[in-house]
Chain A
């Protein structure tokens, strides 16, 4: 569609509830996905909690939007990264995180889980390589 494809990186650094940042970031990502840019999403610091499995928001009266992250693949976001140090500092591993599937409808290429845990060096490379960085 658009001739210029830029690399967008969304940084999610905050816990899913308590502030509106996480939900707003997700909405921006989903809306932005309509513009056919190359989108990567990176979770770090408390942001890694956004991807944890088994969230229950019943006690705080907020919508549990964690299932919505699993639509990122449908919105053609193919790169979802999680900072390894942030996970480790919170006693979490990849097993604690949701899986996000991705499928190319035309070629039927499938990826079972696009969530990738990366180390600090990769985080740095990712930021360097991005044209636009949004931090939430």
Chain B
């Protein structure tokens, strides 16, 4: 096991790119700790996307590529949120990659 992050005193394993090693280890604190490392203050808007990604994974067993995420967010939350400008403003390192990491999902399929 490569690394761990400290979430409220609990050591949680992550892979070499910082994604959770075990999906079931996720708790909101994971997103808090990871976002702090990336210098992001999580707002309700961030949580909406994180929650959305977790639900998407729950249903489809896959972390969506950014294009698909954008489309799916637009469908569910409206076009003002389903565009890459909005999503990148929340997650500057890439909405799919960074938000999936915060959400405890694996790296999206289709991201290299």
Q: Which residues of A contact B (CB under 8 A)?
A: 27, 30-31, 33-34, 63-65, 67-68, 70-71, 74-75, 103, 105
Among A27, A65, A67, A103, max chain B CB count under 10 A is at: A67
* Chain B window 47-70, contacts with chain A (Cβ cutoff 8 Å), 1 for yes, 0 for no: 000000000000111101101100
Q: Judging by beta carbons under 8 Å apart, are A68 and B65 in contact?
A: no
Q: Judging by beta carbons under 8 Å apart, are B110 and A71 in contact?
A: no
Q: Judging by beta carbons under 8 Å apart, are B60 and A67 in contact?
A: yes
**Minimal beta-carbon separation of B69 from chain A (angstroms):** 9
* Chain B window 74-112, contacts with chain A (Cβ cutoff 8 Å), 1 for yes, 0 for no: 110000001000000000000000000000000001100
A33 to B62, CA, bound (A): 15
Count the A-B residue pairs with Cβ separation under 8 angstroms: how many?
37
In addition to A74-B71, A74-B72, A105-B74, 11 A-B residue pairs with Cβ atoms within 8 Å of each other are A30-B65, A33-B110, A34-B65, A34-B110, A63-B61, A64-B61, A67-B59, A71-B60, A71-B62, A71-B64, A105-B75
Set of chain B residues within 8 Å of A33, measured between Cβ atoms: 110
Q: Which residues of B contact A (CB under 8 A)?
A: 59-62, 64-65, 67-68, 71-72, 74-75, 82, 109-110
Set of chain B residues within 8 Å of A31, measured between Cβ atoms: 109-110
- Given the known interface contacts A31-B109, A33-B110, A105-B74, the answer about A74 and B61 at a Cβ–Cβ threshold of 8 Å is no
Say whether chain A's binding surface is mostly helix, strand, loop, or mixed.
helix
For the complex of A and B, 9 pairs with smallest distance between CB atoms: A68-B62, A31-B110, A74-B68, A71-B60, A67-B61, A30-B109, A68-B61, A105-B71, A67-B60
**Minimal beta-carbon separation of B72 from chain A (angstroms):** 6
**Minimal beta-carbon separation of B64 from chain A (angstroms):** 7
**Minimal beta-carbon separation of B106 from chain A (angstroms):** 11
Set of chain A residues within 8 Å of B62, measured between Cβ atoms: 30, 65, 68, 71
By beta carbon, the residue of chain A nearest B65 is A34
A-B contact pairs, 6 of them (CB 8 A): A27-B109, A33-B110, A64-B61, A68-B60, A68-B62, A71-B60
- Given the known interface contacts A30-B109, A34-B110, A63-B61, the answer about A71 and B74 at a Cβ–Cβ threshold of 8 Å is no
A27 to B110, CA, bound (A): 8
